[in-house]
Amino acid sequence: MKRTVFFVSESTGITAETLGNSLLSQFEDVDFERVYTPYVNTAETARELVRLFDGIYAQDGQPPIVLGTMLNEEVRAVLQQGACIYVELYETFVGPLSEILGVAPSRKTGQSHAISRESSYARRIDAINFAVANDDGVRPENFGRADLILTGVSRSGKTPTCLYLATHFGLYAANYPLTEEDFERDDLPEPLRLNSQKLFGLTIDAERLHQIRVERRPGGSYASLDRCRSELRQAQRMFTRLGIPVLDTTSHSIEEISSRIRLALKYRTG
Amino acid sequence: MKRTVFFVSESTGITAETLGNSLLSQFEDVDFERVYTPYVNTAETARELVRLFDGIYAQDGQPPIVLGTMLNEEVRAVLQQGACIYVELYETFVGPLSEILGVAPSRKTGQSHAISRESSYARRIDAINFAVANDDGVRPENFGRADLILTGVSRSGKTPTCLYLATHFGLYAANYPLTEEDFERDDLPEPLRLNSQKLFGLTIDAERLHQIRVERRPGGSYASLDRCRSELRQAQRMFTRLGIPVLDTTSHSIEEISSRIRLALKYRTG
């Protein structure tokens, strides 16, 4: 069973997509066809969209569902009059919140993803640049400036997690790959030891790591299952000995791991 | 006027934060104190939270507002009985959507940010690795694999935008910094010309660029306002001549620019 869903917004559409996709995940058995249409901010653009609805209705045998975050009543009304089932995700809460706060809403569109809160926006941009510049342990002298440092064996998920933490939360995230050298020394290099309170270890299932490494660099000892097992075991031993909290990227997404790290950092720093 | 707002979720809290912060942006004059509490998934954790509410009520002179995405009724009920004003952002739509679809919701928590849709998750991780590996034009041989290539002068916002496109949309985004060499040749290097349909130009206000460069590398000609103006003018001339669409990072956030790029790509590829 196929169902077409439009995510419609006056601005970037990030709110509509995030909440909308989260809601659709409640209905796993439905085969959703997702259509993202940001920047629908004039009645004319809305009318263009409405023209699509009829074709989709005929094709699917059911009207498309529109998940909207539309503050502009005129533009919203155009959509609502089209051949669709319109669900408003945003306006629903603006009135009640306004009453709770005793303040009228500004009704300005796209505020939350605009460059509005200057300092936090600038911090996020800096954090992304920091994460890219400090990927793969290339500048240990910068560990002091990091909010956190991820460590783990090659391809355990450090880079994507660092970038998510930076992009989403504005955290300065560096990472350091554990290699044979660290295992032979059975200790971390000094710049890391000096920042041990910032460390989080990443681990991953050996079979999964083997798969990932084979895709990246097939053949050779780097990708062999034995090598993966041995590295992961040595890394785990080091994490345990040094009291580094460990997160598993096999079963947890970068969003889940990042949320847990942010929570842990909050409690660490008080 | 200060008001404490809790973002409470059973899982990562990403949905609660995204919608919640977007809603709060409607009330610019209120000084919100934001508290993020993901992973509230037992009645006990909820009770810990409720213990905080009384103190905040006393301190603010008003009960905290709780913006929740709580599917578990038992845990939600614990929060609702606390000294707070509870607004449920998620459940509100689950029932209506279930009726529209004629399908019961799974009521599983945290599905949308879990590793559920395997292939799109893997693509997003790959895209982040690709963006980091192809930052700053270091591997022109990879431009063929890119979904898009951002170009512009140094510090015009290429890196953060690429990483946002990768992290959020799973797009393979490379970037290429325009330098004196390109301006002297008055053309793009061959690997870029071969992929000209993937190009987007970034520009920025000269004063703003000057500021950013001064912070990064003060003194010297690199950061001088004259140099910034001259580079931006030459870049603009090249964009115009080659028909490269241009986006301005001065007034538009990486979210806004990324949404526009995604939209443009959709229309380009049909």
Q: Can you give the pLDDT at residue B269?
A: 56
A105 touches chain B (CB under 8 A): yes
User: Cβ A65–B256 below 8 Å, yes or no?
Assistant: no
What residues of chain B score a pLDDT lower than 50? 270
User: Cβ B26–A106 below 8 Å, yes or no?
Assistant: yes
* pLDDT, tens only, A56-96: 999 999 999 999 999 999 999 999 999 999 999 999 999 99
In a mutagenesis test of the B interface, which of A12, A40, A119, A251 is the best target, namely the one with the most B β-carbons within 10 Å? A12
User: Cβ A15–B27 below 8 Å, yes or no?
Assistant: no
HSE (side-chain half, CA atoms, 13 Å) at B252: 21
A186: helix, coil or strand? coil
HSE (side-chain half, CA atoms, 13 Å) at A220: 8
Q: Determine the residue of chain A that is closest to B66 in CA distance.
A: A97
Q: Determine the residue of chain A that is closest to B259 in CA distance.
A: A12
Share of chain A above pLDDT 90, in %: 87
Residue A116 pLDDT > 80: no
**Burial of residue A180, with CB atoms counted within 10 A of its CB: 0-12 exposed, 13-18 middle, 19 or more buried:** exposed
Global pTM value: 0.89
In a mutagenesis test of the A interface, which of B7, B9, B15, B25 is the best target, namely the one with the most A β-carbons within 10 Å? B25
Residue A5 dihedral angles phi and psi, to the nearest 5°: -125, 125
Sort out which chain B residues have CB atoms less than 8 A from A256's CB and list them: 11-12, 110, 113-114
Cβ atoms B14, B67 nearer than 8 A: no
Could you tell me the pLDDT band of residue A270, with boundaries at 50, 70 and 90? very low
ipTM above 0.95 for this complex? no
CB-CB neighbours of A214 under 10 Å: 16
Mean pLDDT calculated for residue range A150-169: 96
* pLDDT, tens only, A191-204: 999 999 999 999 99
User: Cβ B253–A115 below 8 Å, yes or no?
Assistant: yes
Residue A118 pLDDT > 70: no
